[in-house]
């Protein structure tokens, strides 16, 4: 991935719009009807939770399933007790929720049967229709890119003024963006910085969804950033008004999913585990409502043409179709800003017909001499290296002009880091003199034969 030319002076979060709850939020959850799942499905989920957990209280089972105990989990426990599949083992507190339960011999057998159908034993999934309705309600909310917004997003980078007027409309489209140009000029960093600012309000997503009795896990603790507000409502607990939000939903920042050369076609469809017997949502489903950045486009194990073919229908129709192992196809909204970033020449990747389907194409070129000097100045400040104009002029003449080497936005950071390493080894303060610059550049630049 390309690195930022100049890191922001403070965290990205500080320049985001003020945090607000999305207009949509998980509804109250009090009854089985509101849960929307088959009673047998929940009964089996309780069995699997106890199979893996051993002896648990009703409250612990409820916490694991992310469902209220009263009126919902207690119904499954009462049924399983009646069928002699679980038994009480003692009390950990006062009340039915603190009775400790474990599986009987018969319950152990039934639990193994349930695990043979699916080993999913985590938060109860949300019905697919509820998921689709919730995502449609949330994905229409975005911050509009304006000149002021773009300045907040990219002000920490040194880029031509004309670039703002190109990227802003692309981000407002919410469709697709193709960034191309030489490596090391901040294409990835640019997309990330703008994406974090303009993606807008935060998002509620379910831990998992249920389709025809099958589970698709949506929440990813690597790709999704949970908002820990300390608010009892966002945690699904009872509030002062008595309203309890559905705990099966998690409050996250709008996702920004970034993949590179590791991307394969199978990662763009439902991923079914023959061992676990449930599904993992594909990248674009996990990025729903946010940004999906394909970095190093053209270096994936799948051909660029095949990859773009995969996006034709979603980009044009606004819907994606995912297939389950049973052959069932499900339709998911494609409310994702998809960004392709590449160092390769576009003509070597795809033909004009395919590029026409990408809404915005933007070349991110090398910095001008003036911009390169400004980047170097800023990086000197950040690295606490005194900027020396004479040293900089020597660097440009000797290592760029004389060698016909193009400027790259990433070079100042890397050259200064080399200087710091050398200065540390020599046990002396870093200086932008001829000796230090030559040693840094000799160990940084490679002559390609």
319-359 pLDDT, tens per residue? 999 999 999 999 999 988 888 999 988 878 877 777 777 88
CATH topology (fold) of 12-25+133-363:
Rossmann fold (3.40.50)
Quote the pLDDT of residue 106: 96
Nearest to 426 by CA among 436, 441, 416: 436
- pLDDT tens profile 167-211: 888 888 777 888 999 999 989 888 888 777 767 678 999 999 999
Quote the pLDDT of residue 262: 87
How far apart CA 432 and CA 407 sit, in angstroms, is 18
Q: What is the helix (H) or strand (E) element at residue 74, kind and residue range?
A: helix 74-82
Distance of CA 97 to the CA centre of its chain: 36
Please compute the mean of the pLDDT values over residues 219-228 and round it to a whole number. 92
How far apart CA 113 and CA 431 sit, in angstroms, is 70
For residues 14-34, b (16+ Cβ closer than 10 Å) or e, as one string?
Answer: ebbeeeeebebbbeebbebee
Is the domain spanning 38-121 CATH 1.20.120.1200? The answer is no
- pLDDT tens profile 420-433: 999 999 999 999 99
Phi, psi of 78 (to 5 degrees): -65, -40
Q: What is the helix (H) or strand (E) element at residue 204, kind and residue range?
A: strand 203-206
User: How many of the other CB atoms lie within 10 Å of CB of 84?
Assistant: 11
Q: What is the helix (H) or strand (E) element at residue 168, kind and residue range?
A: helix 161-173
Quote the pLDDT of residue 2: 41
Instruction: Give CA separation, 314 vs 221, 225, 246, 319, 332, in Å.
Output: 26, 25, 30, 5, 9
Confidence of residue 228 (pLDDT cuts 50, 70, 90): confident
Instruction: Give CA separation, 250 vs 21, 124, 126, 321, 387, in Å.
Output: 12, 12, 12, 24, 47
Q: Where are the domains of the chain?
A: 12-25+133-363, 38-121, 369-444
Decide: pTM greater than 0.85: no
Nearest to 320 by CA among 285, 275, 370: 285
Confidence of residue 218 (pLDDT cuts 50, 70, 90): very high
In DSSP terms, which residues pair with 361 in a beta bridge?
178
SS3 at position 160 = coil
């Amino acid at each position: 991935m390309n690195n930022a030319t100049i890191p922001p002076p403070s965290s990205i979060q500080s320049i985001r719009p003020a945090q607000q709850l999305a207009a949509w939020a998980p509804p109250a959850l009090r009854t089985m009807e509101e849960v929307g799942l088959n009673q047998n499905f929940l009964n089996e989920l309780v069995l699997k939770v106890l199979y893996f957990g051993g002896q648990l209280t009703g409250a612990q089972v409820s916490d694991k399933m992310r469902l209220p105990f009263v009126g919902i989990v207690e119904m499954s426990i009462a049924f399983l007790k009646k069928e002699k599949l679980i038994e009480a083992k003692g009390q950990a507190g006062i009340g039915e929720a603190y009775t400790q339960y474990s599986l009987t011999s018969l319950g152990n057998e039934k639990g193994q049967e349930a695990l043979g159908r699916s080993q999913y034993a985590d938060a109860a999934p949300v019905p697919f229709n509820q998921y689709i309705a919730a995502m449609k309600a949330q994905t229409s909310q975005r911050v509009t890119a304006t000149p002021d917004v773009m300045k907040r997003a990219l002000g920490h980078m040194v880029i031509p003024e004309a670039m703002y007027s190109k990227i802003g409309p692309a981000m407002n489209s919410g469709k697709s963006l193709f960034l191309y140009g030489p490596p090391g000029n901040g294409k990835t960093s640019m997309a990330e910085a703008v994406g974090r600012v303009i993606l807008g309000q935060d998002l509620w997503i379910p831990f998992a969804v249920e389709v025809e009795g099958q589970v698709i896990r949506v929440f990813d603790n690597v790709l999704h950033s949970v908002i820990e507000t300390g608010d009892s409502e966002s945690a699904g607990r009872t509030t002062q008004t008595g309203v309890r939000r559905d705990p099966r939903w998690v409050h996250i920042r709008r996702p920004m999913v970034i993949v590179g050369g590791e991307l394969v076609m199978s990662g763009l469809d439902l991923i079914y585990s023959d061992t676990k017997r449930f599904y993992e949502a594909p990248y674009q489903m996990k990025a729903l409502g946010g940004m999906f950045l394909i970095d190093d486009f053209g270096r994936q194990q799948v051909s660029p043409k095949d990859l773009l073919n995969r996006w034709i229908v979603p980009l044009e129709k606004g819907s994606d179709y995912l297939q389950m192992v049973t052959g069932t196809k499900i339709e998911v909204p494609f409310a994702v800003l998809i960004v392709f970033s590449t160092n390769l020449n576009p003509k070597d990747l795809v033909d004009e017909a395919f590029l026409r389907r990408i809404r915005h194409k933007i070349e991110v070129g090398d910095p001008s001499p003036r911009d390169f000097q400004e980047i170097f100045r800023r990086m000197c400040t950040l690295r606490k290296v005194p900027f020396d104009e004479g040293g900089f002029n020597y660097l440009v003449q000797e290592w760029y002009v004389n060698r016909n080497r193009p400027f790259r936005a990433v070079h100042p950071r890397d050259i200064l880091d080399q200087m710091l390493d050398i200065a540390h080894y020599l046990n002396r303060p870093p200086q932008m003199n001829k000796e230090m610059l030559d040693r840094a550049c000799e160990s940084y630049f490679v002559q390609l034969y």
